[in-house]
Amino acid sequence: MHPVRPDLKIASDIAKEWPSVGRDHAKAAVTIRQTLSDTPGAIAARARRIRRGVETEAAARAQANERLGRPSIQNLLQMPLLEAIQDAGGRARPRDLYGRLADELGIDLEARKETRACADQTYNLFEQQVRWARQTAVAQGLIAKGERGIWELADAGQEKLRRIRRGNVVLLYTLDDGLALWAHAEEAASALEPGSLDLIMTSPPYPVVNRAYGKFTVPDWLAWMSDLVGMWKQLLTERGTLCVNLMDVFQPGAPCLSPYVERFTIDAIDRHGLHLAGRMPWHSPTKLANIEWAVKRRVRLRNSVEHVILFSKDANPSWDTRRLPRENYADRSEARLAAERRRVSTVRPSGYDLNETAFERNDNGPIPGNLLVAGGASGASTFAKRCREAGVPIHPARFPEALPRRVIQLTTDVGQTVYDPMAGSNTTGKVALELGRRFISSEPMLAYAEASAMHFDARPDFRFHGIGT
């Protein structure tokens, strides 16, 4: 039995209640009439312009795809673009979206700045790809044509995002040892049994202080997360662990870091009575630098470390470092240990014949450190390739499997239950299942929740319940 309450609403019940989302963007039709010359010279000139335009666009697309290494980048861009516009209040200027999308998709700085010249004009390759994605979305009716210089979601775009309505919880897919919910974290918490989870691990959206770039100010984020921590504490077993992955953000208009990570940590301890069980800094060698302060102005270093903070209800959570893979000593230490083993003689001058293992070291390897070194999630993984082939969106903020793997091994035993309340592509659930744990996931965005099923759909115990559309 999974620790889910029996009154959980199933998908078909929610599908009947799903309304059309968004405002009515219908515009009065405008007919534009243009008088064109029908002389042979004018017709030939128009044909040349059309041919030149087609050739220029084809060349630009080929160059962009080659440079960015993403043949299906427009498919990859569409969902993050729609979500970014929604986060900005349903309408935004293009210049407020380019940087956010590049950050979320992991486009390196060189690719962001790459330009090409065509027809006496210079354009930015990545920004051109974003504009093409927008044009495709307009053609599909997802983005309204609207006023010039403003990108605005249409009703169909709101519908495509399919962020679940508040108050609802949908069982999306199940396995013998796992289940995925389509739900906001708050509603999912109300559907789970108190005291049933051994590890809650998640990476929430971080508070970007520029309103055009994100969902929260720092005070909004702290209040939201504090309420969630209170709910999550009730779901943990007495020796369970809460693990939260956060990254630093800069204060608005200044090269100074927001102390929100510290404030969140202190609130979890002082308000909710959790213990600070440990920290596990995650160093990502491929992490991008802050554009304004590290790249343009050169007044700050590239911040390649994210925070992985571990809290526990009890001062002695059920951790065991022996569950982690054995690490090797440094070469000099290994050589010294080998020499010590060679010095052991089983026969002493006195004639005693000793057990040759009596003085051997109980060698479990070096004590594991708390620093995790791992690059970002690979775009060449089987999961990413399948998403691209199927034309479904890939969550733009995935962490590498090495991160949940280390935390799960340290904090849980085989057969225990791991929950990710903001699962995205459900990397946590995938790793938990591989390690013999059970998982529960929840995610409010239907596109990402459904895409996460590609981690599991080849298993014989996989059952997709859908939403009855």
DSSP category for residue 252: T
Backbone angles phi, psi at 205, to 5 degrees: -60, 135
Angle of helix 73-87 relative to helix 125-139, nearest 10 degrees?
Answer: 80
* CA-based radius of gyration for the chain: 27
pLDDT of residue 188: 95
Measured CA to CA in angstroms, residue 355 lies from 340, 351, 360 at distances of 15, 13, 10
For residue 87, the model assigns a pLDDT of 77
How far is Cα 265 from Cα 281, in angstroms, rounded to an integer? 14
Amino acid in position 184: H
Q: Between the CA of residue 147 and those of 77, 131, 143, 335, what are the distances in Å?
A: 22, 15, 12, 72
CB 403 within 8 A of CB 245: yes
pLDDT per residue over 234-265, tens digit each?
Answer: 999 999 999 999 999 888 889 999 999 999 99
CATH of the domain spanning 19-24+39-160: 1.10.10.10
Low-confidence residues of the chain, pLDDT below 50?
9-36, 64-72, 209-214, 469
The secondary structure of residue 6, as a DSSP letter, is T
Rounded CA gap, 183 and 162, in Å?
11
Other beta carbons within 10 angstroms of residue 139's beta carbon come to 9
Class for domain 165-323+367-464, per CATH? alpha beta
Rounded to whole angstroms, the Cα distance separating 149 from 188 reads 39
Helices (H), ranges, 308-393: 331-343, 382-390
Domain spans of the chain, in order of start: 19-24+39-160, 165-323+367-464
3-state secondary structure of 143: strand
Residue 226: strand, helix, or coil: helix
